[in-house]
């Protein structure tokens, strides 16, 4: 809408308890080309007009019965939580400096004395409507800008999501490739993820935290991709040097996952580094003890050992479920966090194998 069209069609609300003043104001504005003029003789009707008509400017008399102009001004201010976005012109037969000050402090933009000339009244209304038009244009521009920023933010979020998913897919493929070298079914990481999620749920993790843990858990052994087959697939007992080489898979996995921005990759990095730490401090690679070990790493430790015990590997036969559960319970307070063992004991172990 062009400025001239806006001015002519702008909604103007005039409030005065004097019918002659209302009639005069309406006549002057119509003569000047304004067509959308609303009048209120009773100040108690103003709030309803304000809400229903959504005026572009309000002209208030100061001295009125029931509610005076300043009380109405305060009422209108309170009705707009974000602050009034339209100009207020106040009218008074006593245009003293004190009255003008009160009007401006109260939130009015201008004050005009009565009686007023036609030219003075119309010019003030026009100037205030120009302010309203400028404010409205800024609002519209801000809305367009906000919409563009929101769209850009959504695009960035979508791109970041795609990037995170791509990163996870690449890492998961590496984890799967490493896993299949010492797990013929390739299901170890999936079973560990399920068991970890069930333990976390039993510990009171939120659904969102459980999901993140279950997506991060399959990456716990990704560092095995760097362990030689001669060590990883060895059927006999490992030498001290081979044990040290095998233990490096924690740091290698953490390095491989480092730098990720997503919550899943960051958690996977922590888990890869900490899932072989022990509650009593005798684990590796950092020898952490008790609650200094990340809780997700403590959860993975139980889930990982249980699954490893109950499935055949190149270097061992599968244990019976009852034997594996007994071993987990035996290691409570030694290898494992007792609280996590307690949560594990409440699970249906046969369904985890």
What single DSSP character describes residue 284?
Answer: S
Rounded Cα gap, residues 95 and 43, in angstroms? 20
Rounded Cα gap, residues 316 and 327, in angstroms? 16
Instruction: For 148-157, write each residue's pLDDT tens digit.
Output: 877 777 777 7
At residue 1, the pLDDT reads: 44
State the chain's mean pLDDT as an integer: 86
At residue 341, the pLDDT reads: 97
At residue 2, the pLDDT reads: 45
> Could you give the percent of the chain with pLDDT greater than 90?
41
The answer, yes or no, to whether residue 229 has pLDDT greater than 70, is yes
Instruction: For 43-79, write each residue's pLDDT tens digit.
Output: 888 888 887 888 888 999 999 988 888 888 888 877 7
At residue 83, the pLDDT reads: 58
**Which residue blocks in the chain are alpha helix, DSSP H?**
3-9, 19-31, 46-53, 69-79, 97-106, 118-179, 188-202, 207-216, 229-232, 240-247, 249-257, 263-274, 295-309, 321-330, 338-345
What value does the mean pLDDT take over residues 294-298? 97
CATH 3.40.50.2300 fits 3-147, yes or no: yes
Instruction: For 231-277, write each residue's pLDDT tens digit.
Output: 887 888 889 999 899 999 999 889 888 887 778 889 999 999 999 99
Q: Pairing state of beta strands 88-92 and 36-40?
A: unpaired
What value does the mean pLDDT take over residues 11-38? 91
Instruction: For 300-329, write each residue's pLDDT tens digit.
Output: 999 999 999 999 877 788 999 999 999 999
Q: How confident is the model at residue 3 (pLDDT cuts 50, 70, 90)?
A: very low
Residues 6+ apart with CB under 8 A from 61: 15, 16, 17, 18, 21, 69, 90, 91, 92
- Higher pLDDT among residues 219 and 132, named by residue: 219
Instruction: For 86-119, write each residue's pLDDT tens digit.
Output: 788 999 998 899 999 998 888 888 899 999 899 9
**CB crowding 328-348: b at 16 or more within 10 Å, else e:** beebbeebbbeebbebbeebe
| DSSP result, 198-221 | HHHHHTT--HHHHHHHHHHGGGTT
At residue 136, the pLDDT reads: 72
Instruction: For 159-179, write each residue's pLDDT tens digit.
Output: 777 776 776 676 667 666 656
Rounded Cα gap, residues 303 and 306, in angstroms? 5
Q: How confident is the model at residue 283 (pLDDT cuts 50, 70, 90)?
A: very high
Structure tokens at 223: 């560092």
Phi/psi-derived region of residue 280, left when phi > 0, alpha when psi is between -120 and 50, beta in every other case: alpha
Beta bridge partners of 12: 37, 57
User: Domain residues of the chain, as ranges?
Assistant: 3-147, 180-352
CATH 1.10.3210.10 fits 180-352, yes or no: yes
């Amino acid at each position: 809408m062009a400025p001239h069209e806006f001015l002519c069609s702008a909604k103007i609300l005039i409030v005065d308890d004097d019918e002659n003043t209302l009639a005069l104001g309406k006549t002057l504005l119509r003569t000047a080309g304004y067509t959308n003029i609303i009048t209120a003789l009773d100040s108690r009707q103003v709030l309803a007009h304000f809400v229903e008509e959504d005026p572009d400017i309000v002209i208030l008399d100061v001295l009125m019965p029931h509610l005076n102009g300043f009380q109405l001004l305060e009422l209108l201010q309170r009705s707009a939580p974000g602050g009034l976005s339209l100009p207020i012109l106040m009218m008074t037969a006593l245009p003293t400096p004190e009255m003008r000050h009160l009007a401006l402090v109260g939130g009015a933009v201008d004050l005009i004395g009565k009686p007023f000339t036609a030219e003075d009244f119309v010019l003030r209304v026009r100037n205030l409507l120009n302010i309203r038009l400028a404010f409205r244009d800024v609002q519209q521009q801000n809305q367009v800008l906000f919409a563009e920023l929101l769209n850009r933010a959504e695009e960035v979020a979508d791109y970041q999501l795609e990037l995170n998913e791509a990163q996870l897919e690449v890492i998961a493929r590496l984890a799967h490739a490493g896993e299949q070298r010492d797990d013929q079914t390739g299901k170890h990481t999936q079973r560990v993820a399920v068991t970890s999620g069930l333990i976390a749920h039993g510990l009171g993790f939120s659904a969102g935290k459980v999901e993140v843990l279950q997506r991060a858990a399959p990456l716990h052994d990704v560092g095995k991709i760097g362990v030689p087959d001669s060590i990883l697939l060895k059927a006999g007992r490992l030498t001290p040097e081979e044990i040290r080489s095998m233990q490096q898979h924690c740091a290698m996995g953490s390095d491989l996952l480092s730098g990720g921005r997503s919550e899943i990759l960051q958690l996977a990095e922590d888990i890869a580094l900490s899932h072989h730490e022990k509650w009593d401090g005798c684990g590796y690679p950092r020898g952490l003890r008790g609650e200094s070990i990340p809780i997700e790493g403590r959860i993975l430790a139980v889930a990982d050992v249980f699954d490893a015990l109950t499935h055949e590997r190149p270097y061992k036969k599968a244990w019976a479920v009852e034997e594996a559960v007994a071993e987990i319970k035996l290691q409570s307070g030694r290898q494992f966090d007792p609280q996590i063992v307690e949560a594990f004991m409440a699970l249906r172990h046969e369904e985890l194998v």
